[in-house]
Every structure is written in structure tokens, then in C-alpha cells.
Structure 1
């Protein structure tokens, strides 16, 4: 019997959608077989008539290295003597007899665009030095840790102007590792979120039309260079999150589109196959092999490249069959939910959380509830969700002339009505500074001079709002131009006193955020935020308290002025007596002072402070320390136990992991008839631990309630 690289067990788990390390078998792998070193190729192409490997190793000669179809869908070939660095493609004779050259869907490396061949790579050589970082992350609950993310597009963050001959002038991964790390570490960010790492052919897509789900883009170097990039970040205390696109793929001929002459990776149904607004194909998540492809991609980046998380792009597009489509096909319950996507995310998030310390963040504009709830509670299981509502509402408020902001006051207060329903991350992302929307600096209403103060106060409000934080590159120093993926940030503005002041202000805010647990340890804890006065709309004023759930020790008082005039005096209610120390002002002066609380009711609280505010000034005060009572100490213990249990329950959730029965071994020839009969009987009887249905149960009341709330229908008990 011929020994297969892709074994029967590999095939079994692949067809059940649970081969989480599929990247170790599919694609091209440098191996040694019977003492001969070479490359083993494995390809999934069930409808292909014939497949061969063409490469610069065989002079791109067709049918010299012909693959063997080892079953009804898997093709294999071992090429002795082939080594790392060889460029290759698959020449596929498709179902209709036509021939097409395809890149390897599982390739570890790719050519630099506009070339698009895959490249043989050996990823086992790099020696990692981030063991301490990874071990530390295993012990942490990320919800209880600060997360201040710097979203960055590597190609336009900074240019290498010494490359006068190179139109792109990209910095490479290794130089980026040092320069970018120095910057984010100095600023006080905890993570970077990197756009456009999975290989893609078109620069104008920013990396959101992916052709290489297992290949870091060659624009900035080789795979081992990107490993160095992540490793260096970790050794300097910076987490790395990648943008990841599980919704769709482009129609480039060398990619996944009609891979073997049939709609293999995409839906066959024309009403579901495409996203018309993007001109891309939608992944058919109803196929276990396609679902497995994406889940294996997620595990690949976490396990092989040590990334700390993935930001899943366009989640809303995946959840609704009607998204961006004038004509759409309802599911069997008559709704527009894409039931395969719900099960896909539940499966993905559950197994990734169980087996790694990584998180997946949902870029989701839908109104589906429970996006960050555990799968066992009919949620999707994401770690965090982008707060798109907060982003849109606050930007609308900032756009408004201060004279008329009183009529938009609700935009700033309404976000607090739902902020604790999900685990949110507040985002001011790349999407908001392109296509004529203007930079964050120019979103601020008023004169050019007003914009400096307004932006600093906007960032203070962001830091005081519950949720993790994300800011796109360049906005921390008030870049004035929109983002241009072909260009570079306006770093020269940092020499301007006004822009330097914005940068220093945001740096001080990051330091406050990362050193005060009341600002970051708030997920799901409603009593960590209290309004002092949310109704002072005539003066564009906001005041609130950030606190821990059991008392006011370590609490902070925020007083925020969104008007370009002095506010003097301002009376605000505070919870306890004593000296309230000013620890932050959006003005750059370092004057330190304290205010004494007066025993007089104000804003429904027993004490009051009298505060003076300058134009567009925000102030933060620390609340005086008081000895905790026994009741408060007990409440603290109860809260910590509850949080620990919720974290453990989320990790141990198995409900939406497919229950795959053990494969039946092939019986010896003499006993095959008897074994076949026994196998048929076993398959006829449903297993007790059979996998849950892919779609919701036929309970009309439950489905109706779910549709009303836009929540995923619950799994049948």
C-alpha cells in the first residue's frame, strides 16, 4: 500500500470541517520521504479532470509533474529534489475541459504583485523569543486588561525615501518592527491592528480582497520577516492583531473563483454567490471543507505566526442573505439570516478560545444581539465587537456647530443605553478618514484653531467611555489630510506646536487609560459608569464617574466642555467628601491643584464641587480614598468570583463544536461483509452526541422572537 501524506484520518476530519491544523497537510510542504528530500503537494479539487504542478523548477512545463487523484476529491504529488523558494502553480483541467492556472489556496508564501505564483516556504526554521509573552497571555482574561489599539496600514505608515528607484518605497517587515514598535511603545498603545497582511493582488482593496489566506504579503518581505515582526512586538510588550476576511474573495482568475470549474469555494446559488457592492464571491460556509479552510486559516495565524487576535471583517455581510443584495433568497424559516454563518462563527470562536489565548473581534454593523455572548447562550462567541453606533453618533456630534450641538446632545448620551449589552471596542478606524469623510481633525466643527481643542476633548470623552479603544494611524497627532494608501502620514505636522500638543495629550490619555483599572476593566459591569449630569445640553457639558463595581475607591470624575467658551463656575455632584485631585487637563499646563467637596446636595449626590473650565477643556479628578466597609469588601469578592467563573465557562463551552464520531477503521478482507453490515446498522442509528443541526429548530415562536430582536435563533435542546 502506498503511504499517503494526506491520510485517511486527515481526509475524515477535513470532510467533517474539524481539521484545525489543515495547513500542515494541504498545500506545498518541504518533507523527506524514504531519505529523499522534496516537496509534497496536496490539493482539494473534486471536479478537476486532471492537475499538474508547473513551476520554475520544471521550466513551467505542463504535465511533467502530474498529480494523482487519490480519492474522489484529493490530489497528491511528491516532487523529489524540489526545495524552498520554488515558484509554482497548479494547472487544472476543469470540469468543462478548459485549462486554468491557479495559485495554491494553502500557499505559505506568494510572489510580489503583479506576479501571482505561489512560493514553496519552510516555516519551521525561525527561532521564536516570545515564550514569556505567550505564557503570560494564557493566564490572562483579556477583558480585565487594557486594550488601546493602534490601527496601521504598513505601506502608508511611513515611506523609505532612500528607495528613489522604487515606486512603492515600502519599509520591510524588520525595519517596520523596530520603528513602529518604538512609536507605539513610546505612545503607550498596548496593541497594533495591522491591515492587509494576508496576500492580496490589488493595492486599492487595502488588503480586503484576499487571495492568500495562509501567506503574508510579499510587499514587505518574506514569511520569516513577518515572524520577526510579530516576535519583536511581543518581546517589547505589544500585542498584534490582524485584519482577516472570512466573508468573501475576489474574482481574479488565479484565485479561488470557480477553482475546479465548479463553484467550489463559493455558493452555487446565484442569489448568494456574490456581494454586488464589492464585486466579490461569498464563501459557501455550508460546505464543511470551506468552513474548515477558514477556521484553519485562523488557527494558522495564531499558531504559526503567534498573533494575538484577528479582526473579522464584514461580519454583518455574512449574517444576512439580504446584505447589499436587491434580490436575496430567504432561509427555510423565511428570514434573511444566513444560518451557516451563525454556526460558523459559533464553531470558530468556541474552538479558538478553547485551544488558544487569541481573540476574534467582530467588525459588525448589524443589530444582531449576543455577538459577544457565549455560543452556549445562543451568542456568536466573539471576544469584542466594534461599536459602530458610538462611532457614527459621536462623529455626527463633532461635525455640528457648537451653537447647535444642544440639539444633538442625545447623540453623546444615547450610546450609554446599550454599551454594556456587548463587549465593545470603541473605534475611530480607517473607514472614517477616507472617501471624502475628512480626517478626525477636520471632522471637528469650528475654526482651524478650534479644531485642536475640540479633538483633544473628543479623545478625552472616548477614553472615559466604557469599552476598549482603537485609533487609526495619524489621528493621534491630528493629521489634516485624509488617509491615502499610496502615500505616507503627515509626520512633519508633529513639528507644529498645535499638532504636537494633540499628540502629547493623546499620549497622556493612553497613560491614564492603561494605569487606571476603572477605565478598562468594565466589560459587562453596568455599575462602572455613572452619569453626574447628562442633561446640560444648553452648555454642551458632560460630567460622569468611572468607578469599580463595589465602591468609589480609585474612581475618576470627568468634566467635559464641548463649547469654545469658558464655563465658570460649574457645580457638579460628587459621591464622597475630601480632596479631589486634578490628574488631567486637555490644556498642556502642568498646574496641580485639588478641589474640596462641599457638604451640599448637587445632582442628586451628597457633595458638590465647583469647577472652572476653559474653552474645549476636559478635566479628570481622582476621587478621595476611603476605607472599604465589610459590605464593600464582600461585594468585591463576589464580583471577582463571578468574573472568573464567566471566563472559565466561556473557555469550556463545547456546545457548538461539531460532534464528530470516531472514524471506522477499514476491516480485514475476510470480515468485510460482516463489518459492512455492522457499520450500516451503526450509521442508521443516530448517535447520542450527534452534531447539532446547522440551522435553527422548527419552533416558530422562538424563531419569531429571534427575528424581532435580530438575534440568532436558538439551537434546539
Structure 2
């Protein structure tokens, strides 16, 4: 029932369950109850298949001053299409899709459909332990996917159920812990990739029904794979059937284009200062966690929300009440959003795509932060790709681009992203960004991936990068799966699987991703040889530290001295130059004995061979009380 408490929370901006009240809901007797927020409309009616789309047949009424119109209809059926016919104050008449619709027509058609979200879930085991799988000290490696272009048998995108089985098996084989879907909320233009959303409570009909999408999530959970949803509260399209000018007024968006229009994306910006809009968006976020068992939300374009002058020139924006460019209303909304998510679903995560130096994005609101669980590290991504695109002969002058990431690596809970944005619009695929001949390009790509997987932070890789696709991504085709039959491409794929195995099995690579106590430089300034070396340490007592050494040139580096924290034998766990990955086979014959020669502040050291354009990972064979050295006395 829609009661006084609902009205209060709705206006306050903290109602987190609007989807239980607004929209179209069929009760046990088969009566459909429609409710829509349109406070400035003169008249609202439901038009649909059952009444011949007659605006006089089912007029709606308001029962209070909340601006919510309601009607109950006994002859409407599941699956039938409907819209709201709205007469605005200025006499303008428009037919609008339901902002709270649970299902929609297949685009380009734009009607809503009456739906129920009944489904028999089988993921109880996952749900019981997903807090551990999503924890900040858990191994997290995310495979980012565009559902319509991962595979296209016979040139047609897979439906949710077929995709669940094929993608689930593939992701399980490669060892990724989570899948991140580019937005699946309904969107009118396929080419927007889902980032221009009209249906904030409906999975796109392009790949099936709501139950089909539930099966997708359910099946991946049964395989032990989490599902992250890309969610877009930053802007919405201006399509006539959508939220724009919904009841004849600027209801969801600001009226002033300096606040309500996004020049970069030609779309509308939500009015975050309006309580009802805040409640709408928070309810959308919780809806996916609640009804679809989504494990995390990656919140798109947070930077565009935080700054009033984002993508605007002087005179095109309005300062806040203090004269600054911070969007105070959006900041308050993001804090309310994160507080609601972690209050209601503490075993999930929110992840910010935020590209500026805004402080404390992934710190609790009680500390003055925005309250996200994690944040994409866009600085790491830009600097790393810029370095890797340099010819190795010039990299000695740019080594700081890599080491600089450790200056701020623990200021936030970072995710390291190599996302879809880096392989579109003429940027080229990851393998195309690498310099040199084909062998060097693949060696560089393997080095890039191993640097990423051993660097502090959670991992995200866009589809195709795991086997070195030559073409940059296009949403109209599918990945070039035939390449995986070629040795060099198969080698990259095998390396990614082994990196994910190491990430999962070695606590040193994931337990302390967000603190200095899990990282120690051994060599950060050897620009002449263009190499880096460091230790990753675990939190678990008795677990073994790892030594990582990276050679960013095609010249093998022999007799490289590296300090070690324990005496004895160090075994080579991973070598990206191994022949099984397509490398040349340089290495250390599997193991190295330490010597009592101090180096890098440690009492013992080893001398290693660093293969060309490669990363090696070493681990002590019998790390324990009798082998650990005390730090040298100063």
C-alpha cells in the first residue's frame, strides 16, 4: 500500500523501494494496479492493448498530494503493452512509457509491458557466501562484456539463456571471478551500448524476458561467477517516450540547460536536488540488487555528476551556492545512494567510474567520503597504456609513468581497468597499441597483462583483450574467435587463465590490494635497464610473499640482483616468456638459490635472468620461521 510514510520518504529522497509501489503490478486476483508520478499533469490515463489504446477508457486519479496517479484494471493481462497518456498543463498531450516498467517492447518499439518477476532461484549457495566473494580482500578479476557482440551464432546476438551457458563456461575456464555487463537497462538506440537508458527497471528486451535475464544471473552464480551491472544515473536520453519533459514540465531534469542538458552526450541531466528523483534512482539501484541478485553496480560517469562545469565552457554552467563548481546536490545523492546500498545489501559493492582527483571516492560517508566500495583507476590505465605504446628504446625516459601509480595506489580502493573505452573509436585494440613486430607485440601484451595482474588493485579486462584481438571492438559484430586457434593468440589466452589462477590461489596478490603493508618496492628507478621489481605480501599468517620482476625491453637482462625476505630456494611460478605462452623460453630453469648478500634493504638476495619483454613471478619454496630474515640493522 502507498501510505503516508512512502510519501514522506519519496519527497525526502530516501525511498529505496519505489518499485514495490509505482509501475504496473498484478495481484493474486489478476487485477493490475498502475501508479505513475506526474504531479504537474492535468490528466493521466492508461492506454493499452486491453482497451484499444483509448484514452477515455481508463482514467487515473490522485488520492493524495504526492503527485502519484493510480488506477486498477481487472481486464489487463500479462504481456500486454501499455503507455500513459498525459495531458500537460500547457495542453500538450504525450504518450509516455512507464518509468517503472518491469518489461518493455523490443526496440525500436517503445511501449511498456505488464510483467511479473516470478522466478525460482537456485543460487542460494552463492548468495550465502557472496559477501566473501565481493570483499575488499577477495581475489577479483572482472571480464567486461557487451552482451550483443560477444558471440553471434549465424550473425544473431545470443539470448540471455544461451549466453549464460556459453559465457559462463568460458569465464569459468579462464578463471575470472566476475562478469561485468555493459548496461542492460532498456535503451532505444543499440549503438549507445546501453548508456542512454530509458528503462531503469527493465532489462533490454533484445536478449529475452526478465526471467531470461534472471536465468543468466542465476546460472553464473551456480558456476561461482559474480555479476556486475553497469548502471547510468548520470544522464538520460531525450526520446519522446522517455523521462524528458515527462508531465509537461521538466520533472526529472533541470529546466535550465546549463544544469539540465549534457553537451557531451546530447542528453538530459537528472535533477539530483529533487527528492522524488533521488528516490527514483536509488530505487533503481536497489531493484537490480534485490530482484535480479546483481552483486555490484559499476556507476558510470561519476565525474560528470560531481562537477557543474563538466564538458562546459565559461558561461555554460551555474556555480553552486558558494560560487564553486562542485555539484552539491549530486554529492548528497551519491552519498545517500551508497548508504542505501550498503545498508540494504552489505554483501554487494558499488564501484565508481570517476576520472578526476576527487578525494575519498571509496571512503565511507561518515569520514566525508562518497561511500563507494571501489573506484576505477583511470590514471593507472592512461599512464600504463601511454608507457606501453612507447618504443622500448625510449621507455627508459618514461619509467616514471609506471612507478608513479604506486604514489597514490592506496589513496582509494582501486580497480585497474582495461575497458571497452580503450578499444573503440580509432584507439585500436590492445595488441594494436603495442609496438614492434608481431612477436614483440604479443610479448608486450603479455607483459602488460602480467604487470596489471601483479599490481595492487582489482582487475578488469574487456572481452577480446584476453586473446589479443587485432580489430578494435565493434558492437555490430562479434569477437574474432578464430584467432584463438592461432598459437600466439592462444598463448595470451592461456596466460590470462594462469594469471587468474595465481590471483585466486596466492593471498599475496589480493588480500592487501588497498594497503602499503602488502607492497614493497625492490627496484623502482632502474631506467637504464627499464625494469621494475617489487614484493607482494599477504595478510594471512604463513602465506608466502611473491617477488615480481618486469623487463620492459626486448633485451634479456642477466645477473639482475634482487633482495629477498627469506633465504633458500625461490621457485619461478610464472614467466610470461615461457614457450607455452608464445615466448622465447628465457628463464631461470625453474628455481634460484639465495645468497647471504644484502640488497634492497634485505639480508639475502638472488640473481635472476629477466627474459625479454617479460614478467616473472617468484615464490619461496619453504617460507617459514626458519627461513625469514630479520631486517638489517641500520
TM score, norm. by length of structure 2: 0.95
Q: Is this contact kept in 2: 1:427–1:471, CA < 8 A?
A: yes
**Is it true that 1:607 corresponds to 2:604 in the alignment?**
yes
Pick from 1, 12, 18 the counterpart of residue 14 of structure 2.
18
Residue in 1 that maps onto 2:592: 595
Pick from 169, 173, 183 the counterpart of residue 182 of structure 1.
169
CA offsets per residue over residues 162-202 of structure 1, 9 Å max, x none?
Answer: x6xxxxx1110000000000000000000000012100000
Q: How does 1:521-540 map to 2 (within 5 A)?
A: 521-540=511-530
**Which contiguous aligned blocks of 4+ residues in structure 1 show a shift greater than 6 angstroms?**
none
Residue 134 of structure 1 and its aligned partner are, at CA, apart by 0.7
**Is it true that 1:202 corresponds to 2:185 in the alignment?**
no
Secondary structure, in 3 states, of the residue corresponding to 1:249? coil
**Is it true that 1:481 corresponds to 2:471 in the alignment?**
yes
Q: C-alpha distance in 2, partners of 1:547/1:9?
A: 50
Secondary structure, in 3 states, of the residue corresponding to 2:422? helix
- CA 139–607 in structure 1, closer or farther in 2 if over 3 Å, else same: closer
Residue 587 of structure 1 and its aligned partner are, at CA, apart by 2.7
Residue in 2 that maps onto 1:89: 83
Q: C-alpha distance in 1, partners of 2:132/2:439?
A: 47
Residue in 2 that maps onto 1:419: 409
CA offsets per residue over residues 311-344 of structure 1, 9 Å max, x none?
Answer: 0000000000010111211111111111111111
Q: Is this contact kept in 1: 2:254–2:270, CA < 8 A?
A: yes
Q: C-alpha distance in 2, partners of 1:447/1:524?
A: 37
Q: How does 1:38-437 map to 2 (within 5 A)?
A: 38-72=31-65, 73-123=67-117, 125-138=118-131, 142-161=135-154, 169-326=156-313, 327-356=316-345, 357-437=347-427
Residue in 2 that maps onto 1:547: 537
Secondary structure, in 3 states, of the residue corresponding to 1:598? coil
Q: C-alpha distance in 1, partners of 2:510/2:220?
A: 22
Q: C-alpha distance in 2, partners of 1:551/1:519?
A: 14
Q: C-alpha distance in 2, partners of 1:524/1:495?
A: 38
- CA 559–552 in structure 1, closer or farther in 2 if over 3 Å, else same: farther
**Is it true that 1:513 corresponds to 2:503 in the alignment?**
yes
Q: Which has the larger radius of gyration?
A: 1
Q: Is this contact kept in 2: 1:152–1:192, CA < 8 A?
A: yes
Q: Is this contact kept in 1: 2:577–2:612, CA < 8 A?
A: no
Q: Is this contact kept in 2: 1:553–1:625, CA < 8 A?
A: no
The gaps in structure 1 that reach 5 residues or longer are 164-168, 633-717
Residue 301 of structure 1 and its aligned partner are, at CA, apart by 0.1
CA offsets per residue over residues 417-455 of structure 1, 9 Å max, x none?
Answer: 000010000000000000111101111111122101110
Residue 589 of structure 1 and its aligned partner are, at CA, apart by 4.2
Residue in 2 that maps onto 1:637: none
CA offsets per residue over residues 132-188 of structure 1, 9 Å max, x none?
Answer: 111112466611111100000010000021x6xxxxx11100000000000000000
Q: C-alpha distance in 1, partners of 2:504/2:477?
A: 32
CA offsets per residue over residues 503-554 of structure 1, 9 Å max, x none?
Answer: 1011111110111111111243212111111111112211111013598951
Residue in 1 that maps onto 2:632: none
Q: Is this contact kept in 1: 2:388–2:434, CA < 8 A?
A: yes
TM score, norm. by length of structure 1: 0.84
Q: C-alpha distance in 1, partners of 2:543/2:569?
A: 13
Residue 367 of structure 1 and its aligned partner are, at CA, apart by 1.0
CA offsets per residue over residues 450-499 of structure 1, 9 Å max, x none?
Answer: 10111001111111100000000010000010000011001000011110
Q: C-alpha distance in 2, partners of 1:627/1:59?
A: 78
Secondary structure, in 3 states, of the residue corresponding to 2:6? helix
CA offsets per residue over residues 634-688 of structure 1, 9 Å max, x none?
Answer: xxxxxxxxxxxxxxxxxxxxxxxxxxxxxxxxxxxxxxxxxxxxxxxxxxxxxxx
The gaps in structure 2 that reach 5 residues or longer are 581-586, 630-634
Residue 18 of structure 1 and its aligned partner are, at CA, apart by 2.3
Q: Is this contact kept in 1: 2:50–2:75, CA < 8 A?
A: no
CA offsets per residue over residues 24-50 of structure 1, 9 Å max, x none?
Answer: 110000114xxx522110010001000
Residue 278 of structure 1 and its aligned partner are, at CA, apart by 0.5
RMSD, aligned α-carbons: 1.7
Pick from 25, 28, 40 the counterpart of residue 29 of structure 1.
25
Secondary structure, in 3 states, of the residue corresponding to 1:463? helix
